[in-house]
Structure 1
Amino acid sequence: MRAACLGPDGSFTHRAALVLAAGCELVLMESVEAVLAALDDGSVDLAVAAYDSAAGPVEAVHEAVRTGRVEIEARHGLAVSFNLYRAPGDDAPLEGVFGHDKALGQIEAFLKAHDLKREALASNTLGLVLMRDAPRPGWGAAGPPGLENTYPLVVTHQRLEGETPNETVFVRLARRLP
């Protein structure tokens, strides 16, 4: 069986898919919309997606469930925490952070405290890829802990969300059969 999830490697959704779609071939996609489209067109058998986070519901997934396009087969809560990753050697003052819109919402207090710009991307780990491949001086990316070797970057701040732990609920989705 094949299961689609939001990538790249190491994303929170990828981590949840290792539990919710254990034993499946994982197909890492660039957006939640692409994950849902792959399930719709039958190119995958299952999908794993974030459903609810501390920053609110993932509307595209809620809409797909609400309209009957998909059904939820299983749920998995995953504790989420965010590190700030920067390009090696970038000593410019921090001015902005890349991240998924839900992550940026969860680290809002950090962003405000440091008066930082923000740029939303389809996934947090996409921000890590961007910082690795085309770093922008003075910018960092919010991402899951433990990826500094996967994406050769430097962790400059930990627990961007603060002391209160956050949890995101992920779901395993299947096409609703007629």
Structure 2
Amino acid sequence: MQTVTLGPAGTYSHRAALAVADDGDIAFAESVRGIVDAVADGSASRGVVPIENSIEGSVTETLDALADTDLAVVREVVTPVKHALIAQSGNFDTVASHSQALAQVRTFLDENYPDADREAVASTARSVELAREDATVAGIAHPDNATGDLQLVAEDIQDRTSNSTRFFVVAPPEDRSDAGGKSSFVVYPNANYPGLLLELLEPFADRDINLSRVESRPSGERLGDYVFHVDVAAGLYEERTQAALEEIEAIAEDGWVHRLGSYDVEHVV
């Protein structure tokens, strides 16, 4: 059962995927869209995509891909983010990493390397590759990536020690489950009027269902038109969740509701 995630090897996505792929069969894609498409067309059985970071918030590329594609969310993996500055030496001109990683160490860089150029690249692991190829470049990645000619210039440089990232494990729609302690939905009401968002949230509040995340994204149809991503602390197997969704589907009768599925949460180091 092949699992695909963001590559190359050594990314935080790769570390999360190692907890999912029991057989170690992991392939890499260069984008979230590539991961989602691989699962959708049957090239991979599972995909591991970042959904939210505790500092930088939701990963919009993932939100948009889940709204556009009929896939199931079957697990959530949470992993702590421990950033290190990795280079051939302490002398470098450029700090490279994924844009989110650069944002997560902004204070450290401002205080210690204010004159260094900052370059956003496809992944934290790609920044390590650049540092290995070029002595003038330092990468930001997990400290385990400091191998060979590379050294740890600084460790634990993230702005907040509580930094962690949530990953969704996506699967073909036939693997969607009603069992689990959390559930995720994508709601497109195809409407815009005062009180719409309140109407969409009240069915959960009325049934004492905790909303763990609500996110809006442009629908792409017209200005001011939105798709809503909702996570709740309840399973689809529960009658209260089913009842709430029935109300929401009635409100969104001119649009649609995607039930991504229910799942449990796993924490990995």
Tell me the TM-score normalised to structure 2 length: 0.59
- CA deviations on 1:85-137 (whole Å, 9 max, x unpaired) are 112xx453x432111111111111112222132111111001111211x2152
The answer on 1:123 being equivalent to 2:123 is yes
**Could you tell me which residue of structure 1 aligns to residue 156 of structure 2?**
159
- Partners of 1:153 and 1:67 in 2: how far apart? 40
Shift of 1:40: 2.7
AA in 2 matched with 1:69? D
**Could you tell me which residue of structure 2 aligns to residue 20 of structure 1?**
20
State which of 130, 152, 169 in structure 2 corresponds to 1:172: 169
The answer on 1:97 being equivalent to 2:95 is yes
**Structure 2: runs of 5 or more not aligned:** 175-269
AA in 2 matched with 1:101? S
The structure with higher relative contact order (CA 8 Å, sep 6+) is: 1
- Pair member with larger Rg: 2
Indicate how the Cα distance of structure 1 residues 68 and 8 shifts in structure 2: closer, same or farther if over 3 A, else same. Answer: closer
Query: What is the total number of aligned residue pairs between the two structures?
Result: 171
AA in 1 matched with 2:2? R
Q: Which structure 2 residues correspond to residues 8-157 of structure 1 after superposition, within 5 A? A: 8-23=8-23, 25-53=25-53, 54-87=55-88, 90-92=89-91, 94-113=92-111, 114-115=113-114, 116-132=116-132, 134-137=133-136, 139-149=137-147, 152-157=149-154
Shift of 1:159: 1.1
- Partners of 2:150 and 2:45 in 1: how far apart? 34
- Partners of 1:91 and 1:79 in 2: how far apart? 26
Native 8 Å contact 2:77 2:166 kept in 1:
yes
Q: Which secondary structure does the structure 2 equivalent of 1:85 belong to? A: strand
- Partners of 2:28 and 2:69 in 1: how far apart? 24
Q: Which secondary structure does the structure 2 equivalent of 1:20 belong to? A: coil
AA in 2 matched with 1:140? A
Q: Calculate the aligned-residue CA RMSD, in Å.
A: 1.9
More displaced 10-residue stretch of structure 1: 114-123 or 99-108:
114-123
- Aligned residues: percent identity? 26
Q: Which secondary structure does the structure 1 equivalent of 2:107 belong to? A: helix
